[in-house]
Every structure is written in structure tokens, then in C-alpha cells.
Amino acid sequence: MAEMQMTIQDRLTHVKAEIEKACQESGRPGDSVELVAVSKTFDGEAIAPVIDAGQRVFGENRVQEAQRKWPDLRARADNIEVRLIGPLQSNKAGDAVALFDVIETVDREKIARALASEMAKQGRQPALYVQVNTGSEPQKAGVPPEKVVEFVKRCRDVFGLEIDGLMCIPPVDDNPGPHFALLGELASRAGVEKLSMGMSSDYKTAIAFGATSVRVGSAIFGDRTVPNP
């Protein structure tokens, strides 16, 4: 079927089938990978049919954009989960704790401290992941690989934060496999279970390397017309 003729629901069904197939090929249970539908830049009209088709977990990369969109959208169904997958400024930590169910981009002590303080104040406990800059790219967010074990330990010991997982975005021009393998190795050394890795172009590879969630945007929603912020 040509991309243009496919509806958003068709693409969602296709991605879910591909995830199950990739699980089978890796000898993993079909439900061992969570699909995070990345809805950044898309408005409520595009997202609503995806909720109505049964998708419950979504990813957003900007606090303010998510604040605008999700209060209304959450009312469409029970059990909607919204994850922050973009950079977090410490002055937005309060908004992020209030809004998100999972924050995947903890990457420095200042953020860890701000989140710990807001979580205590609000009595809310979003799940937290540490973002890892697996390619050590200077312009990219994330903890450098050699600092990950220590950073996770400090989040726990100094700030009393539970860290559930690691997240990475491999360099665009690299073969992603080695980055996914590195993330898996760091997770076992740091004692965390969850691995958020894989996007539209490489989620099947990520599943082969043990991803527990994949973040898929354009393969479900279509190309983003707004440039990637």
C-alpha cells in the first residue's frame, strides 16, 4: 500500500505488527516492547484518531507544547501516558512533574535536584530515565557513556530518585546497532531495567538489541512539516 493512501490508523497497525515481528525474530514475547507514539508537532486533530485506535502511550519533546495539547486529549480515554523525550530546563521541572508520567531526559545534577524537589512538593512520582549521549556528540544532550554508572548512583544516593531506565538517540549517520548495544551494557552495569531506544528508521534494530520501548513518530503520524525543534 502506498504511504499516501494509508490512514494514521493503518500506519499504527503496521508499526505494531512490525514490532511483534521483530520481537518474534529476537525470541522475545510480542508484548515485551512498548510503543511510544511520538506526537510532537502534531495537533489534537491528528492525535485523537490514534487514541481512538487504542494507542495509549505518547511522547512529546517540549513541555509547553505538551501543556497545550494534553489536558484535552487525556480526557478522551483512560490510562493515557505521556512521556517527555526532549530536553528539560530546570525552571520547567515543576511543569514537567505535573504533566508527564515518564521523564526520559534526566541528564545532569541540576535537573535531578530540581525534579527531586518538585516530586516531593507535588507528591507525584513520574518514572525517570537517564538520557545517554552514546555517540559523545558535543551538541547533543545526555550523560557521556563513561559517566552513566556514577550519575545513576548519584541520582539514587544524593537525590533519592529511582531511575528506571536509560534512553539514547544515536548519531544520525552512524549504524545504530553499536549504540543500542552500549546502552544495554550501561543499563546492566548501572542496575536499570528499561531501555528506550529506536525511532521510525531503526526500531526493529533496537528491539533486536533489547529495547523495552521504541519512540516512533513519522512512521505513524507521517512526515513532520514543522522542522524538528
Binding site for ligand PLP (CB under 6 A): 38, 40, 61, 85-86, 169, 199-201, 215-219
Residue with smaller CB distance to ligand PLP, 159 or 179? 179
CB neighbour class for 167 (10 Å; exposed up to 12, middle 13-18, buried from 19): buried
**Residue labelled with grid coordinates 530546570:** 90
Using CB positions, name the residue nearest to ligand PLP: 217
Q: What is the DSSP letter of 7?
A: -
Closest contact distance (angstroms) between CB of 104 and ligand PLP is 8
Q: Which is nearer to ligand PLP, 116 or 199 (CB)?
A: 199
Q: How far is the CB of 37 from ligand PLP (least distance, A)?
A: 9
**Least distance (Å) between residue 110 CB and ligand PLP:** 20
Q: Which is nearer to ligand PLP, 196 or 210 (CB)?
A: 196
143, 133 in Cβ contact below 8 A? yes
Biggest CA–CA distance in the chain, Å, is 53
The length of the chain, given as a count of residues: 229
Q: Are 175 and 162 in contact (CB under 8 A)?
A: no
Helix (H, G, I), strand (E, B) or coil at 3: helix
C-beta of 96 vs 169, nearer to ligand PLP: 169
Using alpha carbons, list the distances in angstroms from residue 30 to 11, 38, 60. 18, 21, 25
Nearer to ligand PLP, 83 or 186 (CB): 83
CB 131 to ligand PLP: min, Å: 8
Residue 107, beta-bridge partner list: none
Minimum CB separation from ligand PLP for residue 117, in Å? 25
CB nearer to ligand PLP: pick between 151 and 203: 203
Q: Minimal distance in Å, beta carbon 78 to ligand PLP? A: 25
CB of 11 to ligand PLP, least distance (A): 11
- For residue 53, give the nearest of 18, 86, 77, 87 by alpha carbon: 77
Name the residue nearer to ligand PLP (CB basis): 94 or 222: 222
Rounded alpha-carbon distances, angstroms, from residue 62 to 82, 218, 221 = 12, 17, 17
Whether the Cβ atoms of residue 59 and residue 36 lie closer than 8 Å to each other: yes
